[in-house]
Chain A
Amino acid sequence: MGLDFSVVPDYFGVLAMGAGWTIAITICAGLLSFFGGIVFAVIALYGHWALRLPVRAFAFLFMGTPLLLQLFLIYFGLIQIGIDLPAFVAGVIGLGLHFAVYNSELIQASILAVDKGQYEGARTLGLSRGQTLRRIVIPQAVRAVIPPMGNNMIALLKDSALVSVIGVMELTLAAQQAISRTYRPFEFYLAAAFCYYIVNLALEAGLRHLERRIAASR
């Protein structure tokens, strides 16, 4: 049986829908990982120990265990204690928190790298510690961390394929569905890979645009 890509266009709608969900989950989880990363970083550096210890334990858990397991835990595990999340929400939470932990590591290092003169400049004007952190330190730390955090976002996009296992009809699962009807795995996996590649290109272009825009303000 040779390759036959002629069946692919028939499933264009299915794949496009899948790509749409992949994009949606990447954006939602990406935002969660960004803001979650900032919150975790601030808690890790400045939080009261009663907050810092659980966050550290949580970070350890999320860095030290497979994402796949985390998704199972959030989607299938939480039901047992009465938390029944839609698959999409469970996927966003799992992916988002997982990458928030990685982003937090980057942001922490970046906060610590902000020049001492920035704190002094702000405090001298009369800004409080919190105001200095919010308005001066974190915006600078986040700008500095955009390139490496961009790499995390690209990893997040690719790892979003994992949420197919909890039944989110994203790109990978859409391809599988097409395959189960046509028995053409090679063609559809390749088509899905091509779609990921296109989305990835768009994401990278967006990140480069962002980097250029903030270049003057660093």
Chain B
Amino acid sequence: MTNQAFVTIKNAAKSYGNLEVLKDINLTVERGQIVAIIGPSGSGKSTLLRAINELDPLTSGEVWLEDVQINKKLPFRQYEAHVNQVRQDIGMVFQHFNLFPHLTVRGNITLAPRMLKGLSEADANKLAEEQLAKVGLSEKIDEYPSRLSGGQKQRVAIARALAMKPKVMLFDEATSALDPELVEEVNQVMKQLAEEHMTMIIVTHEMDFAASVCDRVLFMDQGVVVEEGPPSVIFQNPKEERTRNFLRKHLSR
């Protein structure tokens, strides 16, 4: 089980015009590992995360999930079919939830399993109930998203992603848009996933959370991984000056 490359990023580079946003990034995430990506605003954290599921394709380099290359160069139709397939294995949670407002919580969770995996209505309902129980929102199954708090919305978004039984979960600042008192309930759900050994890549500004949950921390700045290591090293004994400067600002708050 361990020491098995699960998500592999090789020589990843990305530019918008002349702006190099990612520069030769290499990253290997093992099965069950939890990796935090930290770094200042604009350092390329989201871009890297979104490259993993082809939301923002790389300019060059490779992304692999187990033995499948995600960013394969293919003719348009084949490429579309390919990414639609691999994305089913990659759950993503966004800062702004991106729940579908016209569907109930149940509809949000069951839509993709029903459409893409051909689940029957009964099976999909059961799945929705299971996933909602997991995030502690069973009683909200028939509500519309507009009736939920931010923390509840994010938990539903996590349940929606989990309903696809993904192999890896990507979180892009899942708690940044939340009122401070709602952050903890979402963190709790993520901790629970960690205990279940879900493979996770988490972009976050919450250093305490990264320190307590993650196996590895990557510090990014200006499109490169400046330093990486276990949280004990990165947070208490970083080698790089840039990491120390960043942490001084963020830990002293």
Contact = CB atoms under 8 A, between A and B. Distances in A.
Interface in B70-95: 80, 84-85, 87-88, 90-92, 94
A126 B94 contact: no
B112 interface: yes
A143 interface: yes
Contacts of A136: 100, 102
Nearest to A141: B102
B80 A126 contact: no
A214 B146 CA distance: 12
Interface in B5-37: none
Given A125-B87, A216-B144, A140 B98 contact: no
B128 to A, nearest CB: 14
B68 interface: no
Contacts of A216: 144, 146-147
Nearest to B87: A126
A121 B99 CA distance: 7
Contacts of B97: 117
A208 interface: no
A135 B111 contact: yes
Given A139-B102, A217-B103, A125 B161 contact: yes
A35 B94 CA distance: 33
Interface string B101-130: 111100000011001100000000000000
A56 to B, nearest CB: 25
Given A126-B84, A129-B80, A218-B146, A120 B98 contact: yes
Contacts of A125: 87-88, 111-112, 116, 160-161, 164
A217 B85 contact: no
Contact of B101 (A124, A128, A135, A217): A217
Nearest to A129: B80
Interface string B132-167: 000000000000101100000000010011001000
A121 B100 contact: yes
A128 B99 contact: no
Given A135-B111, A216-B146, A217-B102, A124 B96 contact: no
Interface residues of A, number: 23
Most chain B CB within 10 A, of A115, A121, A122, A218, is at A121
A123 interface: yes
A129 B100 CA distance: 16
B55 interface: yes
B243 interface: no
A124 B100 CA distance: 13
A117 B80 contact: no
Contact of A126 (B88, B104, B146, B147): B88
Interface in A162-183: none
A120 B116 contact: no
Contacts of A151: none
Contact of B98 (A117, A126, A129, A218): A117
B55 A143 contact: no
Contacts of A217: 101-104, 144, 146
A167 to B, nearest CB: 42
B116 A122 contact: no
Given A121-B94, A129-B80, A217-B102, A135 B115 contact: yes
A156 B94 CA distance: 43
B47 interface: no
A47 B100 CA distance: 25
B53 interface: yes
B112 A117 contact: no
Contact of A218 (B85, B101, B157, B164): B101
Nearest to B170: A124
Given A121-B98, A127-B115, A218-B101, 4 more contacts: A120-B92, A126-B112, A135-B111, A217-B102
7 contacts: A120-B98, A123-B87, A124-B161, A127-B116, A140-B100, A216-B144, A217-B103
Closest A-B pairs by Cβ, 5 of them: A121-B98, A125-B112, A126-B88, A117-B98, A126-B87
Interface of B: 53, 55, 80, 84-85, 87-88, 90-92, 94, 96-104, 111-112, 115-116, 144, 146-147, 157, 160-161, 164
